[in-house]
Amino acid sequence: MPVIRSNLKEVMKQYDPKLSIRKLAKDVDYHFDSIRRMYKDEMVQYPRDLLLKLCIYFNIQPAQLIVMEDDGYTDCAIDESDGYQGESNERKTTRN
């Protein structure tokens, strides 16, 4: 099942391998703990103002900070051999 993850750690490494969380927090004028939680992918919600500041700082798009990955776990398996289409066939109508 896909999950949303923070990519801040990788972005920081590419930008400057020596950049610390504390320095980044100071540079973007944001709470250290929020930056640390995003860095460690512990953040549940991503504040828009933080995303904006980080995008401007690193000169990147939000999609580079927040990524969707497959965690290898599936809640339920869909057997595609059944011909599952995601929509009920009952709703389909034919116009003459």
Domain boundaries, the chain: 2-70
Rounded distance between C-alpha atoms, residue 69 and residue 11, angstroms: 16
The pTM (predicted TM-score) of the whole model is 0.72
Q: Is the pLDDT of residue 83 over 60?
A: no
Look up the CATH architecture of domain 2-70.
Orthogonal Bundle (1.10)
- Closest by CA to 40, choosing from 64, 5, 73, is 5
pLDDT tens digit string along 32-60?
999 999 999 999 999 999 999 999 999 99
